[in-house]
Structure formats: structure tokens, C-alpha cells
Amino acid sequence: MKTWRSQARVGLPRVCCCRPRRFAASAHCGKARPQAVATSADGSLPSFTFRVTAKQAASSKLRLDIFLAAQIAADLAAAPPGSQAQDVSRAKIQASISGGLVRVNGRPASKASQQLKAGDCVECVLPPPPPVQAVPEAIPLDIKYEDEHVIVVNKPAGMVVHVAPGHYTGTLVNALLHHCALPAMDLDPDLDLDLDLDLERNHGGGSGGTRENGDGDGDLDDDDDLGEGDDDGDGDGDGSDPGGSDRAQRGGGEGGGGARRLGRLGTGSSASSSGAGGGGGGGGGVGLGVGGGCLRPGIVHRLDKGTSGLLVVAKTEVALTRLQAQFKARTVDRLYDSITVGCPAQRQGRVETNIVRDPRDRKRMAAAPYGSGRGRTAGSGYTVVTPLAGGGAALVRWKLDTGRTHQIRVHARHLGHPLLGDATYGGTASTALAAVARSFPSDAVRRCVEHLGRPALHARTLGFEHPTSGQRLAFEQPPPEDFLRALQQLGWEPGAGAEVEAGRG
């Protein structure tokens, strides 16, 4: 069995994508290039002040929104370590302009496309983030096991696990709130909702120590897309929650005892579960790990939007804490089925790298030298179950040692065999499709990818100790219909691969 370990290279630059925090700095429009991150008059919102230089105005048609987006991004990037500030998009800048929060030479800006000239003094206040609420929704769930402590669900491809920017409804959390007869969760509007930030933040890199939010090795966030969630966000196993101390889990708040259920965030009250969710709750505080602004109630690990398969959710704080400990100790069994572009030369192998934010695209992750101190270490074992498409593809099964964001997807690409259908990591590129079609009809390959419409990845098995009884629980879920159809389109014959179809609920 071959181990693919990325080796350290001399001179490899350290990549840090840590989000700067807000900091105060004096600035005056008389300066050539002030860096102004201050607060608005009432002290609640970040404000910025810039003067347009002659060099900046030399470019034709210097638009107000483009100028502000570039200048504010540059100032935030220059923020000292440990400072805090909002990231800003051009859309947010345009919202500030339309809301009357931008002034040019002391007068409200007329429109986003307003032209600037040298010497113009531009002041901008960023709008507050919109309120966010996770609302119970009657979404069907494929529940494989449930008692008063845990739920094991078979997540369909296309479902985001939890509320995130662009995904405020239709998530697994919305469905679970309804299933357990729990009220809506009011989420802190100041909560950092970008759930897939740099893995180095608050981790220190290396092998990864215990983090403030108690997930240790980070099995609280993987496949949700980085930006969707998905992910994938957007990936493959279960990954680290790069959220930092703002989402620290404080273990249930004050008052009351026993295994408390999910309560409304910040209300200091506990909601009892009726219906299938089971039982009442004890005492005050909040349960299911939402104390302190945690966005993911009871979510111990995660699957990307495009990943299907098994996922366990904690219904009590005791279950949450003990399941997190199992993920940290790497005693949770997880196998994933995938379809790769090309067939790995070694029937069995292992990939060991660090996983970091891709410096060229913050919505992707990338492999870095193992143990290099950048990002966090990640280990995946793989087995080729059967070649497909005449060797142009393969059914590959993965066993995770760690659960980093997009781990399987990154490691598959690192091997030179990205997951089929994974647009983020090259699984839909023309070269990839050509490789699959090397000994197989190209039309069949194209139809396969179009019909699949997602990375070919499925969380097949899940095994863990019950958090209260200690009984070992094991679940297996065969791939869904779209995955099986893709296998058939690539030449796999039902019945010839019993290990693909066999499983128990």
C-alpha cells in the first residue's frame, strides 16, 4: 500500500486568510492615502474615510463602488492580528450607497456608478448585517435511528446542513427544528456566518490541538461547501469548524441540570421536545450546543451540500459533548464511496497532507506539505473497489482518519483523480471528461456527469458509541439512485458489485 505524503519544500510561503477584526484608526481626508477603519457616530457600525489620489483618478471612469470595494478590502487586509472588521463585498458597498451611508465631499452619493476625481473625499459606513433566524420547516427526513439522545439521518444530496449565507431555509437544521417540535432560533446578527474561513485561524496549524469550541480535531464542519456551506460549506468527510472563539460552546449556560434540549438562542430558556424528538428538558440555559452563539444546533459533523449519506445529530448537550469527544479521539468509523476520474494505480493507498485555504480561491481548499505547520494535518485511506469506463474512472472507497473541510475532494485531486462531477476541484473539466472517455463513449460520460450534477461522493457507513449507553452503533446506507445510475452509465452492472448495493438501514 502506497502512502502519498506531501513533503515540505524550502521557501514555501505561509498563507494566512484570517479575517481581521475591527480596529480604530484616525484618518483625515487631507492625507494622501488614509487607512480609516473607525466606527460610525453612534459607535455601532464600521466607517471608512478615503481621499482619491491623482494616481487612482488617472484611470478612466473611476466608479465609486469599485473604488470603495478596493480601498476597504485593502484596509481590512492590513488590519493587525487580533483585530476585527467586517469583510465587504461590492454588493454591500452598493447597499451602503443606496441607503445614504456614503458621502462624497460631504454630500450623499447619488449612485454606485458615480465618477470620482482626484481630491474627492469619500466617507462610507457599512450597513448592519441582516437578522438571521433558523425557522422550523416541515421537510421530510430519512431517519435511520432515533432516540432521546441522538438522530442518525441519511442526508440527500442538495441539502445544506445548517443555516449559512444564501441558505436560510431548506437546511437540515430547519428540518430538525420542526421534527423535534422546537421553536425558531434567533441567531446573533453579529455572528460570523462565513462557516468556511481559514483553517489556520485559532488552530495554530500542525496536527491541530483542541480548539475553544471543543471540537478538537474539527469534526464539526467538513463537507458543507465552503461558501454554500458546500460544502461542500462545500467536501467529503467531516471537517473542522473554523469559526473560532465567537462560536465557543459553553456547555449549556446557567441553571438547571441534566441533558437540556435546544432552546432559543440568547433567551435563557429551554424548549422541551415533543413528538419524535423525545422528552422534556431540564432547567434554564440553552441546549444542543447553541450556547454562546453556535450556529449549528447539535451538529457534530457535517456533509457538503452535494454529498449524500449518513450523519449523526446530537439532541442533548451530553450527547453533543460525548460525540465530539469520539470524533476528536478518532474512534468514529466512516467510509465514503466515490467515483473518481481515472483509476488510481495502487489498489490500496493512503494520502497524508495538510489542508489549507487555497490562496488563489478562498472557496476552495488545497493540499500542503504534511506537517508543514500550514493548515491542519489530514489522513485518508482509499481502496479501489472496481474500475469503471474501461479504466477511465473508478469506484473508490475512502476511510477517514481526520475530518477536514473538503478532505476527500482535496485528497482525490492530490492523487490526480478528482471526484467525477466535482466542478470545484476539476471533476467536470474537459480534460477530466476526456480522460474518462478514453476507452468509453464520450456521450455516455457527458450524460453521466450532467445527470449526476454533483460531486460523486456518498457517506456510506457511520459507527460510534452511543453517548449514554456506550453501545456500539453501526449504520450502512447504500448510495442513492443518482449515484447508482452514474455507476451503471459508466459500465457497472447491478449484481456484479454486491458490496456496492448491500447495506442495512
Q: Which residues pair with 124 in a beta bridge?
A: 48, 102
Query: For this structure, is 223 an active site residue?
Result: no
304, 337, 422, 482: the active-site residue: 304
Q: What is the side-by-side strand order in the sheet with 46-51?
A: 38-39, 46-51, 121-125, 102-104, 107-108
Q: Which residues contact 487 (CB under 8 A, 6 or more apart)?
A: 339, 388, 395, 479, 497, 500
As a dihedral over the C-alpha atoms of residue 360, residue 366, residue 368, residue 373, rounded to 10 degrees, the angle is 90
**Do strands 376-388 and 185-187 pair parallel, antiparallel, or not at all (unpaired)?**
unpaired
**In contact, 231 and 454? CB cutoff 8 Å:** no
DSSP class of residue 299 equals B
Report the C-alpha gap between 102 and 94 in whole angstroms: 9
Which residue stretches of 304-416 are H helix?
317-329, 407-415
Q: Which whole-number Å values give the CA distances from 196 to 129, 232, 240, 257, 405, in the listed order?
A: 18, 9, 9, 33, 8
Q: Which three cell numbers stand for residue 485?
A: 445510475
**In contact, 200 and 374? CB cutoff 8 Å:** yes
As a dihedral over the C-alpha atoms of residue 77, residue 81, residue 82, residue 88, rounded to 10 degrees, the angle is 0
Q: How far is CA 21 from the centre of its chain?
A: 20
Q: Which whole-number Å values give the CA distances from 307 to 158, 283, 298, 387, 485, in the listed order?
A: 7, 37, 19, 21, 16
**Do strands 150-155 and 143-146 pair parallel, antiparallel, or not at all (unpaired)?**
antiparallel
Q: Which three cell numbers stand for residue 333?
A: 468509523
Q: Which whole-number Å values give the CA distances from 227 to 154, 177, 235, 307, 364, in the listed order?
A: 22, 23, 11, 15, 9
Q: H or E stretch including 308?
A: strand 308-314
Residue 464's closest CA among 173, 221, 149, 229? Answer: 149
**Up-side HSE of residue 141: CA atoms within 13 Å toward CB?**
29
Write out the catalytic residue numbers.
304
